[in-house]
Chain A
Amino acid sequence: MMIDFISATKHLRGEDSIFLGHLQLEASYSTGWNKYFLNGCKYFEIWNNEARGLLQIKGSLPYFWQGHNFNFDNRKLVEAISYIGKLIQVDLFDSIVDIFEYGKIIQIGQKPESYILNHRERTDQRLLMNDNARRRGNLRIWENAEVRLKMYDAGRNILHKQGVKMKDIIQESGWNPEGYYLKFEAHYKKPHQTFNRGVGFTIADLVNPDWQRRFNVDLYTQYKKLIPLGMIEQPNNKKDLSTQDLLMIALAEGATQGGSTLTEVKKMLYDRINAIPDEILSPIDKKARKRQILALIRKIHTSPQSKWDLSDKLKEALSLREQENT
């Protein structure tokens, strides 16, 4: 299991007397909130609203505790939370989890880019895909109101963002600089709704084996909201291999390898037709060409099994049995 970012709120009781002396005050807001930084391998945020008796912790526990998020087990999470609690002299394990990220790194045989570009959202899942142009191929995000799913090249982050010393440390944790690592992660925006029918749960629950099984099952369920793109199959009869067919297959192949679906290929071609002025191509002509394109696309078949499908690898990495993920 691996929990990364977390935001949790502690409702302070009368007997709680927090100690903020070791924190750096970053900002004070008119709402009564004070923002502090807690020093670690990376900063961790502590927010305090004395008037409302609230304390919030926010940040990436792995980065705070060990400087990287290649791996981070339960024991380390407990140590990190215990440490923060001791420093501010308050028990944080009963804090309510507001947001958290749960993910898994999978070692794969090919460049992560191919896997990332060949995953799309299922049409019935109401997920909005967001490809950051600068990180295209290295990160793909899908989002709805409850969850943000991220698939990214975990090895690239280490190679490009970590120093030599930290790379050595991560290597000791099992990272192979020559290997390819893909991380699939769910950022739960409303974990109480996703996991507990609207009732808040605590940081202590995060390390409870029963809850972790739920997180594992849900991560797999989240993955199944995506669809790995299939390979375009080469027709094996002459009548489906006309020059037009070959051109369309080549176009579709190129587009799908770039992460587009056949529907998007069709849309792209329709847009091209629509952009031609009516005096050059009349509406009737346009309709006719669209019909031809549709017919050509319908002849294209993708293999039912996608080589980019990570289901089995993820299931294995999450130690899920067959009945737990159906």
Chain B
Amino acid sequence: MMARQFIEAVKQDAVYNLKEGTQSSYYHTSGARILPKRLSISRESEMTKVAKAGRNLLHPVIGQLIGRFTREETSPLKRYKPFFCRTQIWQVPEYPLFIGYGSIGISNNEGKINRASDTGDLVVLTASDRDWRTLRIYYFPAMIHQLDAVMQYLSEG
């Protein structure tokens, strides 16, 4: 299993706050600027039903994260127009204190997000309140396959 000290070394995190009067529009408040400054994070109840395939078979889908980089923003994820990044958010039942995790997909050279344009970058979301008003998003580059080690690391504080 990946060493804790490595996970700690590569960990980045950012805080996003829900915009007043909206249900799913979040703005970057502090921390790492790797994801777009505005994110749309919706809960499963607000989403259309997704097929029970792929990772959805492994863990239940609890939400979705979508963002688009503006013209001014810079990020390693901003590669091709229209500069979208997206992931489902899957719940890990063994770690109920976390909202869930995602694997960031970005727009490819055809402007689409597909399996091949998945970066393998792992995001883990936590909320400080039941209404998800303030979210902390942890970012681990190329570590989707280290989910267990990362969840264990984060849950142990």
Contact = CB atoms under 8 A, between A and B. Distances in A.
A66 B141 contact: no
A87 interface: yes
- Count class of interface residues, chain B: 10 to 19
A288 interface: no
B10 A40 contact: yes
Nearest to A166: B5
Contacts of B120: 86
A278 B107 CA distance: 87
Contacts of A41: 3, 5-6, 9
Query: Is chain A's binding surface mostly helix, strand, loop or mixed?
Result: helix
Contacts, number: 41
A163 to B, nearest CB: 11
B148 to A, nearest CB: 13
B5 A66 contact: yes
Contacts of B9: 39-41, 67
Given A19-B119, A65-B6, A87-B142, 17 more contacts: A21-B77, A22-B142, A41-B3, A41-B5, A41-B9, A66-B6, A67-B3, A67-B5, A67-B6, A67-B9, A83-B2, A83-B143, A86-B142, A87-B141, A166-B5, A169-B3, A169-B4
Contact of B2 (A22, A79, A87, A166): A79
Interface in B100-145: 119-120, 141-143, 145
A166 B5 CA distance: 8
B76 interface: yes
Contacts of A169: 3-5
B43 interface: no
B28 interface: no
Interface in A80-108: 83, 86-87
B37 interface: no
26 contacts: A19-B119, A21-B75, A21-B76, A21-B77, A22-B76, A40-B6, A40-B9, A40-B10, A41-B9, A65-B3, A66-B5, A67-B3, A67-B5, A67-B6, A67-B9, A83-B2, A83-B143, A86-B120, A86-B142, A86-B145, A87-B141, A165-B5, A166-B5, A169-B3, A169-B4, A169-B5
A19 B6 CA distance: 21
Contacts of A19: 76, 119
Contacts of A66: 3, 5-6
Nearest to B10: A39
Interface in B1-36: 2-6, 9-10
A21 B141 CA distance: 10
A41 B2 CA distance: 12
Interface string A1-45: 000000000000000000101100000000000000001110000
A44 to B, nearest CB: 11
A22 B141 contact: yes
A66 B10 CA distance: 12
B79 interface: yes
Interface in B65-80: 75-77, 79
Contacts of B6: 40-41, 65-67
Nearest to B75: A21
A87 B79 CA distance: 15
Given A21-B79, A39-B10, A40-B10, A83 B142 contact: yes
A79 B10 CA distance: 15
Interface in A161-176: 165-166, 169
